[in-house]
Structure 1
Amino acid sequence: MVTILQLETATQVCSAALSVNGETIAVKELAAQNIHAGSLTLFIREVMTTAGLTYTDLDAVAVSKGPGSYTGLRIGVSTAKGLCFALDKPLIGIETLRMMAQGFLKTADNYTGLVCPMIDARRMEVFTGLYDHDLNEVLPVEAKIIEENAYQEQLKTQQLTFIGDGAMKCNTSIISPNAAFSDLNFNSSSNMSLLAYNAFTAGHFEDVAYFEPYYLKDFVVTQAKKKV
């Protein structure tokens, strides 16, 4: 039996879940601004209590590794690494966009089109990738400015479903009868369960000492508009 604690903090969603053999058994999450630092450890404690498990029962810790919010990723990854150090457990890094695509595909059994997860990166820029219905990467992960005629080559022949908090702001730019948009939340740690289990059984672990989030873009410090 493989028991994995899973953490997702790449967006405004703060999420913790437990899975056994790739099936989610407990999850606690909330979407709100600036709650990760104060809520993540509380959510972890709650799912452990709900499942009736202790930390020594864990076989690994999985964390959403990005791209996404710089601060959110730092909180999630540092928490995961701290647990792995303290418990001497392996660390699993899960690609955030692939996790989102997996979440959508769980809700669409007969879907044969492409899935395009999008994380809001301000203005008309998003962190995005493109996956087929088997989670194979069709287009690589990138920071992309969505302009008119984006994805038109793929939309000529296939249905594309755009998901995530960056997708809805693009629905006036991406125009096609083959384009669909979902405003459902797929940034849930529960969507890591099968991916984390497969990584565990394959022995795909991160180096706890040197693992860093996949930021995709450098952190930019902006100056406050108001003078104090």
Structure 2
Amino acid sequence: MKTLCMDSAHRHLVIVLLEDGEVKAGKALSCWKQQSETLFPELIACMDSVGWKADDLDEVMITDGPGSYTGVRIAMAVAKVLCTRKHIPLYCISTLQLYAGVNDHVFVMLDARSSRAYAGSLNHGVFDKEECIMNLDEIKAYLKEHPDLKVIGDTSLIDMETTDIDFIENFKLLRPYARKVENIHILTPRYLKDQSAYMVK
């Protein structure tokens, strides 16, 4: 089983090739607002490094948001074309899941601008505080109430040190948690900032 994993939703471009659940090749590059011009050269280089062709793929796995309005769409557009042309399944995980991996008691925050962040608390790859948008004061208050949480992501927004994230390993570990897309043609990015119901009061 050959799986192509991609993420372009936030500050990084992540490309991972899995074969029977094991990493064959992978790249995680910091390329803020450069994912569109970087994805294809890096994808081709990854595929060439293990001798894969597009027709070899059995499935694709991507993040479907939240994240940058343009960024989420880049990997999603490529995935939809590949899966539609080859009639192979497409799977999704949350961008916040990719950051958290399967670690226990993790709080992920990603910059949503205007002193706000996409936020969620996860335990072993599963949300125990659903994704939402919080302002930075709300995040500080929430973390004070939950001192056991490890905070990752854009932690500099609240004056905390950043933590390195192994995106490649996280894609591998999260494959069993991915949601299958039943209708690829109607798949759209999840933009929490467009949905007032997700706003924390």
TM-superposed CA distance for 1:199, in Å, is 5.1
TM-superposed CA distance for 1:215, in Å, is 1.2
> Sequence identity, in percent?
27
> Structure 2: where are the runs of 5+ without partners?
196-201
Task: Give, as a single letter, the amino acid of the residue that structure 1 aligns with 2:132.
Answer: E
1:28 and 1:46 in contact (8 A); partners too:
no
Provide the rounded CA distance (Å) in 1 between the counterparts of 2:163 and 2:113. Answer: 17
Which has the larger strand fraction?
A: 2
Which has the larger helix fraction?
A: 2
Provide the rounded CA distance (Å) in 2 between the counterparts of 1:218 and 1:18. Answer: 32
Structure 2 residue 42 is the aligned partner of structure 1 residue 7: no
2:136 and 2:157 in contact (8 A); partners too:
no
- Larger C-alpha radius of gyration, 1 or 2? 1
TM-superposed CA distance for 1:207, in Å, is 1.6
1:23 and 1:194 in contact (8 A); partners too:
no
2:60 and 2:89 in contact (8 A); partners too:
yes
2:198 aligned partner = none
1:193 aligned partner = 172
What does the per-residue CA deviation read over 1:163-219, in whole Å, with 9 as the maximum and x for residues that have no partner?
A: 11x2221136xxxxxxxx533245x355222322x257xx83342111111111139
Provide the rounded CA distance (Å) in 2 between the counterparts of 1:199 and 1:126. Answer: 24
Pick which of 90-99 and 14-23 moved more. 14-23
2:108 and 2:120 in contact (8 A); partners too:
yes
User: Which portions of structure 1, spanning 4 or more consecutive aligned residues, are displaced by more than 6 angstroms?
Assistant: none
Structure 2 residue 140 is the aligned partner of structure 1 residue 160: no
RMSD (Å) for aligned C-alpha atoms? 2.2
Structure 2 residue 142 is the aligned partner of structure 1 residue 150: yes
Partner of 2:174, secondary structure, is: helix
Task: Give, as a single letter, the amino acid of the residue that structure 2 aligns with 1:72.
Answer: G
> Structure 1: where are the runs of 5+ without partners?
106-111, 173-180, 220-228
After TM superposition, the score normalised by the length of structure 2 is: 0.86
TM-superposed CA distance for 1:145, in Å, is 0.5
Structure 2 residue 122 is the aligned partner of structure 1 residue 131: yes
2:41 aligned partner = 42
What does the per-residue CA deviation read over 1:15-52, in whole Å, with 9 as the maximum and x for residues that have no partner?
A: 21101222221012321232111111111111111111
Partner of 2:52, secondary structure, is: coil
Provide the rounded CA distance (Å) in 2 between the counterparts of 1:123 and 1:24. Answer: 37
C-alpha distance 135-28 of structure 1, shift in aligned 2 (>3 A): closer
1:225 aligned partner = none
